[in-house]
Amino acid sequence: MDSTPSPSSSSPFDLVSSALGRYVPHGGAAAGAGPADAQGDRTTGRGGRDDPAADRQDQILGVVNLDRNLRIARANLDAPVFEGLDAVAGSAFADLLPPGDAPTVTRRLRQVLEIGEAHVARIQRLRRGDGSELVVSMSILPAAAPQEGLTVSLIAMARRLHLYAAETAIGTSLDIGETAQSLAESLLAWGDVAAVDLDFAVWTGEGVTERAPGRIRLRRAALVPDRAWPEGYLTPGDDLPSDASRLLAQAVRRDDAPQAIVVPDREAVERLLGSPRVIRALVPVDRSASVACIPLVLDGAPPVVLGVAEIWRRADRPFRDSELFDLQELVARTAHHVDLARQHQREHTQVLALQRRLLPRSGGDTLEIASVYQPATPDSAGVGGDWVNSFPLPDGRTALVVGDVVGHGLGAAAAMGQLSMEARALLSAGLAPDEVLEHLDETVTLLDDAESGLAAGYSALGSTCCIALYDPVSHHLTLSSAGHLPPVLVRPDGRAGPLAVRPHPGLGAEFALREPFDVHTFDAPPGSLLALYTDGLVEDRALSIDEGISRLADAVSAVHPWDALQHAARHVVAALAPVRQRDDVTLLLARLIGYRKGDTATWRLPARDDAPARARANASALLRQWHITGRTLDDVPLLVSELVTNAVRFAAGPITVRLIRTGRGLLCEVGDTGNGRPRLSRGGLLDDGGRGLRVLHRLTTRWGVRWTDTGKVVWAHVAR
């Protein structure tokens, strides 16, 4: 029965591993005992070294199977290019590696064995029995069933193939450190040690300009192989000594043009560097060594040097002209990848700064907040448009807002900032959450008109937003959502789950039916915990979105009321978010406290002429009960009287008066059924009306209006 996995049930790596397994002879054969040997004649019909056709038809593929102890089980290294590799059955695979590479490669082998995730196409050196080395492209795959262990494929790297593979590998990441590391690993094919030193401006993502050689500042960005280095030697993240930077800059800028140089032996290196401290920082060994310095250059007028690549090797292996040509070609081909990573780093830093500026700073008297923003990993498409905010409204409520703008990078960040600030302004002006979403919907549509949006290759259509308003007196949450995932609420009794919010298309979704945004109201008793988040926190390819939200609810419900909220938020993100996520992760936790019952009082009065006097008497009695003294004891009853008088004159229906004792003063609210907006005017001394609002303006620190389903509420803050 054929044991080869079927394509429908196997990953591409399984199929490749299965095919490579059939390429290896069974029965314990090792290197030099491939299919040709099994037929008894290695040079007949196989293109051996005595065959003139061998140079044209040499195989470059070799395969080694390893058991779970990383020992060679069998191998097919029959191609002449692998001659000299002692792949003996039962020997450790690490014996084929240079001693300095063995720890890193062994770690990769064990990682694939434990996790089952293939490690594909990395440049590696193998050690022949005579001490020479062979450069290969090595891939590590889990062995296909029914075999156990690992399948290691080795592709001997011809010059052109190596250059192509190296350039392809270097261009796979937008992280500046990983790009430099990939370049260094590719350069290792020509030497024993490879390092990449970048201009500090490149490392930080800033623009690089032409400057005097003596002012250049270099930082080590990559170093291979991974081994223990002597004390004082520069490793990634270290800044080069100023005199070392100057010398390297002068070396690659001879005749005002960037050029590669070769220092042939240690004596020449010491004469060039001069300082023992600089020698310890740059020379990786005590033995005699030569170095080739290749500048990373961006073409231009004049050309701009991004940094220097250094390849060190034993002095008894001098660099040939053909090798220098290959090195220069590889570095020239990949310099633009370094610059792309620099540009991405700069954009990533700018967007990240904007993201962090929008994060909530603190809570207030009625709730405690904590937020975590975890940007996508640097090699992803870029920082996205996640935003979260929390701010107190002038009328004593608190707004909690979360949104996710479609796209990544500066375009998404600009739209994110505009929507965030617009939402804050509209909410502070007293608009309800559904009204704010209607305005944001129009804004997103304007952002994507033919000139400013789509023509620039960016679209914010389909962005999502959720707005929650917390009333600390009634302990209610008022919520509206535009396509966003539902908030999770944990009540004091431990019940946890997403709030039931009716689905609605995202912002600017003109293709959908233009339905009004719904408004939902939920009870949120003191001690409740609310979680607002973006999809990066709950999305998992192995789980449905409902399961992801359920995991979040479980994690938030485990937060103890005594836990420090910021620490708890970090713990929730660490438990749910993957280590290397492709999308931003944003979480806002709000512990809802509210006002104590004794800090608020509410009266409902009929709209009659005696209402102002009754309101004034009730307010005076309450202030004495609260032990309020001084001018506040006189100002607040007068203020309440004026507001109720206006409600009786210009509105109808019952009047609601509410006083709230806050940490910094008193909040007075008078609600009525009128829909007119009170406006302050200058007026004259003899005018019949308008005095009430002028009294209100003088006695308060700020005042305003918010609209309700039944009318309006005029609110005012009084300091005490």
Task: Tell me if residue 405 falls in helix, strand or coil.
Answer: strand
| Closest among 564, 530, 569, 528 to 401, alpha carbons compared | 530
pLDDT digits (tens, 9 = 90+) for 590-614: 999 888 888 888 889 888 888 889 9
Q: Are 656 and 603 in contact (CB under 8 A)?
A: yes
pLDDT digits (tens, 9 = 90+) for 300-347: 666 777 888 899 988 888 888 878 888 888 888 777 777 777 776 666
Q: pTM to 2 decimals?
A: 0.56
| Closest among 19, 15, 17, 51 to 36, alpha carbons compared | 51
DSSP for residue 71: B
Residue 446 predicted with pLDDT over 70: yes
Residue 693 predicted with pLDDT over 80: no
Is the model more confident about 304 or about 464?
A: 464
Residues paired with residue 719 on neighbouring β-strands, in sequence order:
665
What was the pLDDT predicted at 50?
A: 40
What was the pLDDT predicted at 13?
A: 61
Residue 563 predicted with pLDDT over 50: yes
Which residues contact residue 500 at a Cβ distance below 8 angstroms, ignoring those fewer than 6 apart? 486, 520
Sorting pLDDT into bands at 50, 70 and 90, what band is 564?
confident
350 phi/psi in degrees, rounded to 5: -65, -45
The share of the chain scoring above pLDDT 70, in percent, equals 74
What was the pLDDT predicted at 48?
A: 36
Segment 617-627 mean pLDDT:
88
Residue 30 predicted with pLDDT over 70: no
Q: Are 720 and 661 in contact (CB under 8 A)?
A: no
Residue 429 CB neighbour total at 10 angstroms: 15
d(CA 635, CA 700): 9
Residue 23 predicted with pLDDT over 80: no
Q: In whole angstroms, what separates CA 292 from the centre of its chain?
A: 37
| Closest among 386, 427, 380 to 403, alpha carbons compared | 386
* Residue given tokens 């040939």 in the structure block: 320
d(CA 397, CA 134): 70
Q: Where are the beta strands (DSSP E) in 237-383?
A: 261-263, 289-298, 304-314, 367-374
Sorting pLDDT into bands at 50, 70 and 90, what band is 578?
low
Residue 242 predicted with pLDDT over 80: no
Segment 702-715 mean pLDDT:
82
Segment 165-173 mean pLDDT:
62
Burial of 507 (0-12, 13-18, 19+ CB in 10 A): buried
d(CA 135, CA 154): 9
- HSE (side-chain half, CA atoms, 13 Å) at 680: 11
Going from the N-terminus, what domains does the chain have, and what CATH number goes with each? 7-157 (3.30.450.20), 162-348 (3.30.450.40), 359-592 (3.60.40.10), 599-719 (3.30.565.10)
Cα–Cα distances in Å, from 346 out to 156, 189, 197, 583?
38, 31, 18, 18
pLDDT digits (tens, 9 = 90+) for 485-494: 999 999 998 8
The mean predicted confidence, pLDDT, of the chain is 77
d(CA 488, CA 491): 10
The DSSP element (H or E) to which 572 belongs, if any, is helix 565-576
What was the pLDDT predicted at 531?
A: 93
DSSP for residue 688: S
pLDDT digits (tens, 9 = 90+) for 258-274: 677 888 888 888 887 78
What was the pLDDT predicted at 179?
A: 81
Segment 24-51 mean pLDDT:
40
For 256, left (φ over 0), alpha (ψ -120 to 50), or beta? left
pLDDT digits (tens, 9 = 90+) for 657-683: 898 888 778 888 888 888 777 766 555
Segment 126-153 mean pLDDT:
83
Segment 137-142 mean pLDDT:
87
d(CA 382, CA 63): 38
Task: Tell me if residue 103 falls in helix, strand or coil.
Answer: helix
Question: b/e per residue, 467-498, with b = 16+ CB within 10 A?
Answer: bbbbbbbbbbbbbbbbbbbbbbbbbeeeebeb
Lateral strand order in the sheet of 520-523: 384-392, 398-408, 464-471, 476-482, 520-523
Q: Return the minimum-mean-pLDDT range out of 387-396, 421-430, 543-552.
A: 387-396
Residue 648 CB neighbour total at 10 angstroms: 20
pLDDT digits (tens, 9 = 90+) for 149-165: 899 988 876 555 566 55
Is the model more confident about 46 or about 633?
A: 633
Cα–Cα distances in Å, from 156 out to 46, 60, 162, 189, 654?
18, 5, 9, 12, 88
pLDDT digits (tens, 9 = 90+) for 393-402: 877 888 999 9
Residue 26 predicted with pLDDT over 70: no
| Closest among 441, 410, 416 to 357, alpha carbons compared | 416
Determine the residue type at 392: P
Residue 458 predicted with pLDDT over 90: no
Q: Which two tokens stand for residue 132?
A: 């020479």
